Structure formats: structure tokens, C-alpha cells
Amino acid sequence: MAGVVTADLVGRVLAGRYRLLAAIGSGASGRVYVADDIRLRRRVAVKVLHAALADDAGFLRRFRSEAQLAASLHHPNVMAVYDWGEDGVPFMVLELLAGGSVRGMLDRGTRLTPAQAAHVGGQVAGALEYAHSRGLVHRDIKPANLLFDEHGIVRVADFGLARALAEASWTEPAGTVLGTARYAAPEQATGAALDGRADIYALGLVLVEMVTGTVPLVGDSPMGTLGLRQESAVEVPSELGPLTPVVERACSADPAARYPTADGMKQEIADAAETLPPPGPLALAGLGEVTDDPHPTQVVNTALAPPLFDQDEPVRPAGPRPGRPMSSVRLPQRSRSTAPFVLGAVVIVAMAAVAFVLARPASGPSAPVPLLIGKTEAQIQSIAFDNKFLVTPEFRRSDDPKGFVIEQDPAPGAFLAEGESIRVVVSRGPKPVAIPDLRGKTEADARAALEPQFVVVVEPHPDETVPKDQIIQTVPAGTAQPDTEIVLWVSTGPKPRVVPNVVGKTYDEAVNILKAGQLGAARFEEFSETVLAGKVIRTEPGTGAEAARDSAVKVVVSKGRDLVTVPNFVGKTIAQITVLAEQAGVEIETRGVVKGKARAQAPTAGGEPVPRGTVVTIYFS
């Protein structure tokens, strides 16, 4: 959303309790401030919503209900809601998270590794499962609503707010669409009631953006975006590695094909994470330095204030802010009459500082320099701190392991005074070496090429084009340092196909359906008492089972009922009747004394065909 969403309230005290110190963010719903909770003497975040919403009685009623529900959520990955209310404008009081948001990381150019994305995504999925189990759907999962504390633990923000805003009667500035369309599930275009699967879809898109920096299937307008997602499947980039099948299922256009619960998605993210290296620390964006306003009652000069981060505004190149030209902005100037006094004060302070330096002892007590070679960078900082030395690190390529000290000056045993510095050289590891292009090679050939310099790990992956047991790619590709881990993606061939339901179809219809699913067909026939002749009785493998791509599925076609004609047994002996009945496919039973020749039978010969195994009664005199 372009423009200012609400008046700047810095210095105001809301509800007689929350003193707003500085604005730290702006979005479609309102503006976020760092504030002091005067009563509890703690720093909090206050989200002030649009002033126009205060006139919407229906919104305020929904806002109270949703805020109460959001405040009842207590989960380590859900942002805590401390308080809410209205003081001319609706507001919510939230825990202040110093780590910034995923949006802030992405806007700084930071991209997460698949392992880091899995670490963050698993926490978000856990928060969604917790909220969904209590009947609360977020409806607006996006990077700007995923924030971190100072330890890198993610919190999901704005639970309940999206629904209240979506049902408000006011018109948003600049035509903004609530529930950011860039992350909206395709069913949001239909107006149908949303459930937790819409949040799962949005989380899948966020996982892609965290790794690649881009959101899949974004059109020129909100409705264009939703239309694309109704028509096309999300193509997951290969950079996501083991997370690919997770995102493919989460971002299915059909909600029924997604994970039924966020917990299911969380478990599969965890399974994928087990195949990845440790995630490593996150480069958090942070909030920057926020200080108390020394003059809370004075009007802030917004012409000189830095622009706020607007989570809904497109990124623009840096340049002069609109408004007054830069040349017309006047900075406060001191009176000319005070300049000599200021200059004199500066000179006096400088002379006092020089006198202090000359009078103080040159250094503290001396101590021997410890051995730092072979230590890690973290270890040497700890040793230097314990000995009250400073450490000045330099970095150099070498054959030694990365992160270890390879040189130091002064040498161990020399004496230094407290506060003096030791220069150390820290190894950046060996020079990276080229990883050969192994695509299409066998696992054995790839191992032979890599194992002299790298640690090789094999991961099986399905692939539609690379034949089974051949290399799809290496992770990483290009170059890597010697002795690091190289993952070989070995093809298991195409993904198995699910056998479609062709029961009751003709054989030709079944062949076409199987062909569309990249499966072949082999015809078999048998009699059936229930399926009409020419129709499919069953397939082997059965409906819903998996079969190798392009393999032939056994299609069993009905020959109809198995009917036979009753032969003429009259005038024949029991021995002749027995042979004839077996040949005709009927059973016999006798009446009377079995001797001589049969005098009658039921049913009679030559009538309507009867099912195989029908019992014919033979009468003897």
C-alpha cells in the first residue's frame, strides 16, 4: 500500500499506559510502534490500526472477538498479544521482537538455505497446527508476518486480525487487497469459507521465497494471481532440494490434495530436514536502535525522518523522498553569539583528555602471551578476554581447516601488558576446487571422481528424465573446499504413477485413460456374473495403487455371464450321462432306481442357456 496509513502518533500515550516511542513498520492494516508500557515498565510493540476503522461498529465488534481469541493463544512460535483496546483508534499490544522479520531479511538480499528454510517452516507449521486446532485460521501468512526474537526463534504475528479486517466495511487506500494476494490460495477467489489448508498453501509459497527470493505464480493483479493459481500447478525450483515434495503437496491447487493438517506438513518438513546439513545461524534483519524520545510532546519533523518499511508497497529504488526539495530543508543553526563559547568548551575538554592520557599509567601488569595457534576463532577470543588482551584477526587461504589460527604475533611466551593486541592469522580453508559436471554419470563413476578430494553422500531422488541409477546433480555444484561434503542426487527413475479408476469402462476407454496417466495396458478376459460383457472388471495393480511409469497395467475385461446349454440325457445310461454332464458344464442328480436308461430330465434339453454348474435332475424308471 502506498502512502501513509494513519497519522504519526509518536509521543502519544494510548489508554493512559502505552507511550509510543518510534514507528518501526507500516502496512495495509496500520502502523507499528515501539512503546513503553508505563505500568509494567517494559518495552512492547503497539499496532495502531487505521483511524477509519474506529467508525465501523461491526469491525470493532469483530476486532474485540478476534483479539480476545488471539490473546488466548500461548505457543512458543505465536507472537504474544498482551492487550488490545480503542483510544480514538483500535490498537493491539504485542511482544516486541528484536530480530526483525523474514520480509526484512529478504529485502536485504538474504536468502535462506533449504536447511534454514526447513528450520523456520517447521516452527511456523507448528504454530499453525496449534491455532487451527483451536478454530483460528490466520488467512494472511506472508514473510512480513513471520518475526524473530533475538535468539532466531520465529513467531507468527497477526492471528485473527486478517479475518476482522477482511469483513470490515471500510475501503482500503489505493485498492489494497487484504490477505495479501501474493500468498493467497486459489480458493480465495471463489469466496468460499477458508480453512487451515489456505494457510498451508501460503506457507509453501513462503518456503519457496525464503530460498529463491521469488514467489511463484504471481500475475499482474490480485485476481490475475488467483486465476493463475487455479489454472496452473506451482513448479517448485530445484534449489529447495528435499523440501520440493513438501512444497508441491502444500501448494496443490485442490485443497483436498494438500496436507489435511499443518502437523502433517510439519512432520514432512522434519523428515526433509534430517537429510540436510545443520541450518546454521540466521542473518536476522533486526529493528535497529530504538531510543526514548527526549521531547515526546514536540511535533516530529517527518520531512527528515527515514522512510518506514511498508510491507505492501512495491520495492522502489533509493532516491529523494517526495515533498520539499532537499535543498529547501534547513537544519537548525546555533546563534552566532554562542559559537565562541562552544569552541572554548571543546578546547578545554580536549586539553583535559590529553592530560588524563599523559597522567595515567602506560599499561597494566605484564603477562605471557598464550599459545593461540591451532585454536578456533571463538576459543582465541575467550582466551584473550581471560588474559585481558585484545585480538586482531586477519584471514588467509591455507591448507589448514577453516576457522583455525595458523599464525600469531607476538609468539607464545612473549610478554604483553593488559589491553595490548595480539595479531593472529585465521585460516579461510583451502582454495575451493572445481566440482566436475557429473550429470548422467553412474554412482560408481561419480564416487571415483569426487572421493579423492571430498566426502561423498548419496541421496536418491525421483526424476522424469534422468534414467535410474544416474546422477541428477551435485549439491553444491561448481566449486567447494576440499574435504567438505558433496551430496550426489542419484535418480530412482520417474515417480510411480497412480493407477486411475477404469472399472466399468470399455477396454478402449481404459486404454486412453491409462495412456493419459503415462501407463500402458494389457488385456485379459474372464466371465462375470455382475459386469456386462466388454466392460472392465478390475485392474492389476488396483485403482489407487502405484505402477512404474510406462508399465503395462493388467486390464481384466468381462466376457459376460458363463452360460451353457443343457444336453439331452434321455435314453442314456448313467455312465454316458456322467461323461456328457462334465463336458457340458452342468451337475446331475438322480431320481428313482438308477438302472437302465434315463426316461426324463429337468430342465429339458435345448432350452434357454443356464449358468455353468446348474444342477439337472435325471429320472430313471
Rounded to whole angstroms, the Cα distance separating 65 from 513 reads 51
Task: Choose among 615, 616, 612: nearest CA to 526.
Answer: 612
C-alpha cell at 311: 510491507
Helix 114-132 with 196-212: angle, nearest 10 deg: 160
| Cell numbers found for residue 579 | 461323461
Cell of 177: 487487497
Q: Taking a C-beta distance cutoff of 8 angstroms, is the pair 174, 1 a contact? A: yes
Q: Say whether 140 is catalytic.
A: yes
Coil, strand or helix at 469: coil
With the CA atoms of 14, 177, 187 and 273 taken in that order, what torsion angle do they form, in degrees rounded to the nearest 10?
-60
Type of residue at 172: E
Nearest to 553 by CA among 563, 566, 543, 568: 543
Q: In what order do the strands lie in the sheet with 390-396?
A: 390-396, 421-427, 405-409
What's phi and psi for 269, nearest 5 deg?
Answer: -60, -45
Closest CA to 156 of 221, 230, 77: 77
CA torsion sign for 440, 444, 448, 454 is: positive
Which is catalytic among the residues 8, 55, 83, 140?
Answer: 140
Taking Cα atoms as reference points, which of 213, 250, 235 lies closest to residue 113? 213
46-to-2, 26, 415 alpha-carbon distances in Å:
21, 12, 55
- Rounded Cα distance between 11 and 19, Å, is 6
User: Three-state SS for 358?
Assistant: helix
Do the strands 610-611 and 479-480 form a parallel or antiparallel pair, or are they unpaired? unpaired
Burial 276-300 (b: 16+ CB within 10 A, else e): beebeebebbbbeeeeebeeeeeee
Helix (H) or strand (E) holding 210: helix 196-212
Beta strand pairing call for 552-558 and 520-526: parallel
Whose grid coordinates read 429320472? 619
Q: DSSP state, 255?
A: G
Active site positions, annotated: 140
